[in-house]
Amino acid sequence: MNRLAEIERKTNETEIFFKLKIDGTGEARLVYPLGFMSHMLNTFARHGLFDIEGYAKGDLETDQHHMVEDTGITLGQCFAKALGDKRGIRRNGSCLFPMDECLARAAVDVSGRPFLYFDGQLSGSPLISAPEKGNSYDFQTDVIEDFWQGFANAAGFNLHLEIIRGRSDHHKIEALFKASARALRAACETDSRAKDIIPSTKGSLPGFETQGVLV
């Protein structure tokens, strides 16, 4: 199966490129200036078995919001484009993912109707980077919701993400990325019993032409 997409997004604030292979092996090749976010994208690729290649540049001297939100938008557009008319997919997936003291839940409907419910239970305190590793940017945890909002809107997915319990913000965010990746993997998988069927009684689901707009 060849479900591939490439999207390049350029604005006055950011320049982002992603290449996505939905039916991959979980390989990520990224040039990304925010170490924690790069780690989350690698985690997302591995647990979803998606191959992701790309880079990001942007106005980090202003804030991390633009880059992280635009990353979500660009990756979401890749999913919308790669899935096409969504023929033969299972459409729905969910995952309950434990990570040490943390428990995360993700549920997705590849419906073409964007919606995000996000309850990350995050403290709002930044994650402090290690200066000796050359990364001068502490990660702003509040932008994680912006990432998922941009992703859900651009992909046209109904996405529910929540932390049931947990202490560490690092664990909460990472568990959400793992849970969402596994939920999406299940939703994007093809159903051998319905390989030529669009999974909707309407006979069609909104696709990239309606979701893949720059915002």
pLDDT tens digits, residue range 57-71? Answer: 999 988 899 999 999
User: Does some domain include residue 73?
Assistant: yes
> Do the domain assignments include residue 42?
yes
Flag whether 210 is in a domain.
no
Label residues 6-39 b or e (16+ Cβ within 10 Å = b): ebebeeeebebbbbbbbbbebebebebbbbbbbb
Q: What's the whole-number average pLDDT of the chain? A: 92
Q: State the residue range of the domain holding 125.
A: 4-202
Token digits of residue 200: 């909707």
Count the helices and strands in the chain (H runs, E runs). Answer: 5, 8
Task: Answer whether residue 198 is part of any domain.
Answer: yes
pLDDT at 130: 66
Distance between CA 86 and CA 119 in Å, rounded? 28
Q: Is residue 208 part of a domain?
A: no
Residue 29 is assigned to a structural domain of this protein: yes
Is position 60 within any domain? Answer: yes
Say which CATH number the domain at 70 has. Answer: 3.30.230.40
pLDDT, tens only, 146-191: 999 999 999 999 999 999 999 999 999 999 999 999 999 999 999 8
pTM (2 d.p.): 0.92
CA 102 to chain centre: 20
Residue 213 binned pLDDT confidence (cut-offs 50, 70, 90): very low
Percent of the chain scored above 70 by pLDDT? 92
Q: Are strands 115-119 and 158-165 parallel, antiparallel or unpaired?
A: parallel
- How would you write 117-176 as a 3-class SS string? EEECCCCCCCECCCHHHCCCCCECCCHHHHHHHHHHHHHCCEEEEEEEECCCHHHHHHHH
Residue 110 has pLDDT above 60, yes or no: yes
* Position 133 pLDDT exceeds 80: no
Mean pLDDT of 28-48: 97
- Is 211 inside a domain boundary? no
pLDDT at res. 204:
76
Judge whether residue 136 has pLDDT over 60: no
The count of structural domains within the chain is 1
Average pLDDT over residues 91-95: 97
